[in-house]
Chains A and B, each alone.
Chain A
């Protein structure tokens, strides 16, 4: 399969998923809309991590720190400082992005397992700080976070159906935006660094600057997801920043298919929906979830989207 065909397939998968999400949205009840919002937020978070892991080859176990930074910034700006929520949303992305610049300045100097360790350590530092922070309610968390007032657009975001539609739209925009980034010269350089960092450096590419830029962009988008999560739950707590949140996103990226963007979205939907329905069936749902992950990784080492593309390739050869 050519790159062009692969790209078309991904776009087609994205279109199918967007259509399925809209169809579900149109038919869902209150709780369905809650689930849609949850899936869309997690999908944004997973896509931001995919930019790091899949495109740039930087495996981070501390990505939840930026998710949390976005959530806590939204809570701090709205609840503690009284900012309007529509302003807090972009401001939270800036805060998360700035944190990513600072963290990234250290982290991008390292590669491989050392990069994993430093991101994990910094994620835990952020968690430890928030767990003890009196300002943000410590482990008890902070409530009363408002959603933006979009009455001017005829939207009532306190209504789950409007909120889920807004979040869904944002997820689609993030997908289209990241698709552009990955396809741009900047994205191509990141992919090159992923494939062979030494050669890129030998070609005179300022590798660290590119990595830092990717890290910052991923952090800012994770901050967007965090801000939306804070608005969705009207509540924040250090739970958002635990390393298991990072780990879960990493699993979603791997299971969905690294570097494909649509794969992690499908993975996010699968994990949240399977988690919801399995936990209704059995107390040991995590066991079955684990089995599913093992099965996917064993059968399709390149994730769900990777398996689909291989299938399309074989089908294409047979047809052609």
Chain B
């Protein structure tokens, strides 16, 4: 789909002209605009648009133009759309996707085509670990990065035993592995772990009964979307939070799901790279501008889109709007560092993953609203290389 967001002139497909001053800078955007992650694709796009309005949509006389394609959350579709953007629309760089399986499908192609791909969500550790690429830059997070610090943090707060519960898919396992490693390294014990089938589990009661019987100090969970809402409500109705602390990866009570969860979400302690209540001028400005424009709270996904677009604009300013030398463009992205809504941010040249603060928050009732209140912060969390060796060429 070719939607130009009012930023750009109409684009005629397949212009093979070499890029020069005055030509638009074409960014191919591969995000889900249909399917289960459509809301995330929308949030990221809205965040990017706001950033282009704020930081400028023209660099060195070249206007930034977005060409949007729907990945439908299908790897093969995402890959085909990526090829179309590169071969037919001749985009200068790519942004996307949301889901890790689509990212996996796009990875080899952009790696061989040597087109920079900025990933605004997909958290698969391998993407900036063993399967890292000089051309794949991630502005969002790795599954490890969000959860790794929480093992030690929970131990320091006096929790000695954890029960792990996550949806049975790759992301769920990666997140639980991260917290398991750090919690046991600190001296804690994992007393049990369960992985309910993804999207098929409607009734969590059997799992909650098991957790209750195991009597851990806390449970550490990861769910997102519909299951997150169901899980939060069922834990609340079960009355389990009175005996066992509810902790986990912060998406459980994302602003996208909080309105549906309501008061049932109160009492959850989570870790995430962004929450709307961060107390900083940058965040207040961002939230004011976003809420004024869209009438809703900007989520972590919105911020990931916003920071992605800002990284692109600032990198283009360093190269003077030049996009033909892709290596120089990526090198410019390594030079960029700024303080955004989620705090100081830069790209780690060793892995191409973002270095960012991770926030520990608690979901509390504030007046009539349920909010994520920041209670702690881990600064400049950086992933170890995790087997990443940057190799130019086939890999």
Contacts and interface: CB of A to CB of B under 8 A. Distances in A.
B partners with A: yes
Interface of A: 29-31, 34, 38, 131-132, 134, 137-144, 158, 229, 233-235, 237, 239-240, 276, 279-280, 282-283
Interface in B40-94: 70, 74-76, 79-80, 83-84, 87-88
Is chain A's interface secondary structure helix, strand, loop, or mixed overall? helix
Contacts of B173: 134, 138
B108 interface: yes
B238 interface: no
A237 B105 contact: yes
B5 interface: no
Contacts of B100: 139-140
B388 to A, nearest CB: 15
Name the 9 nearest CB pairs between A and B, nearest first: A30-B87, A31-B87, A140-B170, A138-B170, A234-B108, A235-B105, A31-B88, A139-B169, A237-B75
A138 B169 contact: yes
Nearest to A158: B112
Contacts of A139: 100-101, 169-170, 198
Nearest to B13: A280
A235 B97 CA distance: 16
Contacts of B105: 141, 143, 233, 235, 237
A45 to B, nearest CB: 13
A34 B395 contact: no
Contacts of B377: none
29 contacts: A29-B88, A30-B88, A34-B83, A34-B84, A131-B198, A134-B173, A137-B104, A138-B173, A139-B169, A139-B170, A139-B198, A140-B104, A140-B124, A140-B169, A141-B75, A143-B105, A143-B107, A143-B131, A144-B108, A233-B75, A233-B105, A235-B104, A237-B75, A237-B104, A237-B105, A239-B101, A240-B76, A276-B84, A283-B33
Given A143-B107, A143-B108, A237-B104, A29 B14 contact: yes
Contacts of A132: 168-169
Interface centre among A30, A239, A282 (most CB of B within 10 A): A239
Contacts of A279: 1, 70
Contacts of B88: 29-31
Interface centre among A138, A158, A276, A280 (most CB of B within 10 A): A138
A84 to B, nearest CB: 15
A143 B84 CA distance: 20
A31 B108 contact: no
A132 B87 CA distance: 34
A139 B166 CA distance: 14
A256 B100 CA distance: 35
Contacts of A31: 83-84, 87-88
B101 A140 contact: yes
Interface residues of B, number: 33
A139 to B, nearest CB: 5
B126 interface: yes
B2 interface: yes
B34 interface: yes
Contact of B76 (A30, A144, A233): A233
A289 B168 CA distance: 34
B80 A38 contact: yes
A195 to B, nearest CB: 37
Nearest to A132: B168
B76 A239 contact: yes
B109 interface: yes
Contacts of B80: 34, 38, 276
Contacts of B2: 280
Contacts of B101: 139-141, 237, 239
Nearest to A140: B170
A140 B124 CA distance: 8
A141 B107 CA distance: 12
A18 B294 CA distance: 52
Contacts of A143: 104-105, 107-108, 131
Interface string B1-31: 1100000000000100000000000000000
B210 to A, nearest CB: 20
A137 B100 CA distance: 11
Contacts of A280: 1-2
A16 B136 CA distance: 43
Given A31-B83, A235-B79, A283-B1, A141 B104 contact: yes
A141 B99 CA distance: 11
A143 B112 CA distance: 13
Contacts of A233: 75-76, 79, 105
Contacts of B170: 137-140
Given A29-B88, A137-B104, 7 more contacts: A30-B83, A140-B104, A142-B104, A233-B76, A235-B107, A280-B2, A283-B34
A134 B87 CA distance: 34
Contacts of B168: 132
A86 B192 CA distance: 45
Contacts of A229: 76
B214 to A, nearest CB: 23
Nearest to A33: B87
Contact of A235 (B1, B75, B87, B124): B75
Interface centre among A140, A158, A234 (most CB of B within 10 A): A140
A137 B169 CA distance: 9
Contacts of A283: 1, 33-34, 70
Contacts of B198: 131, 139
B35 to A, nearest CB: 11
Contacts of B109: 234
Contacts of A239: 74-76, 101
A25 B1 CA distance: 24
Interface centre among B34, B101, B107 (most CB of A within 10 A): B101
Interface centre among B14, B105, B109 (most CB of A within 10 A): B105
Nearest to A244: B74
Interface centre among A31, A229, A240 (most CB of B within 10 A): A31
Contacts of A137: 104, 170
